[in-house]
Amino acid sequence: METEDKIYGLIAHAEDAQNSLRAFQAAAQDAIKTLPEASRGAVRDAAREFIVQGAETASRGLLDASSEAKAAASALRRTGFMQGVFLLAVALVVIGALYVVGGMLFDSRVAELAELKATIRAEEATLAELRSKTWELELVNYGDGTRGIILPRGTQVDRTGAVKDGRFAVVIRP
* pLDDT tens sequence across 126-141: 998 988 888 888 889 9
- For the entire predicted model, the pTM comes to 0.39
Return the minimum-mean-pLDDT range out of 43-57, 102-116, 147-161. 43-57
DSSP one-letter string for the chain: --HHHHHHHHHHHHHHHHHHHHHHHHHHHHHHHHS-HHHHHHHHHHHHHHHHHHHHHHHHHHHHHHHHHHHHHHHHHHHHHHHHHHHHHHHHHHHHHHHHHHHHHHHHHHHHHHHHHHHHHHHHHHHHHHHHHHTT-EEEE-SSS-EEEEPPTT-EEEEEEE-TTS-EEEEEE-
- pLDDT band for position 92 (50/70/90)? very high
